[in-house]
Amino acid sequence: MPIEVDGKTFETDEEGYLANLNDWVPGVADVMSKEDDLELTDEHWDIINFLREYYEEYQIAPAVRVLTKAVGKRMGKDKGNSKYLYGLFPYGPGKQACRYAGLPKPTGCV
């Protein structure tokens, strides 16, 4: 189902992931999170931006286990744990945060 952001229409796949990574604007995350009844805070944005940087560097969306480890390394142990990340993204930090970030579904998420 396509989503509408600031009057522009964005194609998504059947699971709601953005069809074209390069289409992404921050408004995409705002619209998607509203649909999930989630209010994005700076903490959410830290993870979304981190995922976009990870994708830029490695060309893949990391599996949640890999994301957790990488966040811990970059932002400290208090954030690099699944309790913190699932607290932010209850539908799963890999899947949900990657979707907001305009990334494909994580490689290695089964």
CA dist list (Å): 95 to 7, 37, 87: 26, 16, 14
Q: Is 109 a catalytic residue?
A: yes
Task: Provide, rounded to whole angstroms, the least separation between the CB of residue 72 and another protein.
Answer: 11
Q: Which is nearer to another protein, 99 or 106 (CB)?
A: 106
- Residue 21 as a binder of another protein (CB under 8 A): the answer is no
Q: Is 40 in the site for another protein (CB under 8 A)?
A: no
Stretch that binds another protein, among 5-13, 22-30, 61-69, 82-90 (CB under 8 A): 61-69
Q: Could you list the residues that contact another protein (CB under 8 A)?
A: 57-60, 62-63, 65-66, 69-70, 107-110
Instruction: Return the active site residues.
Output: 109
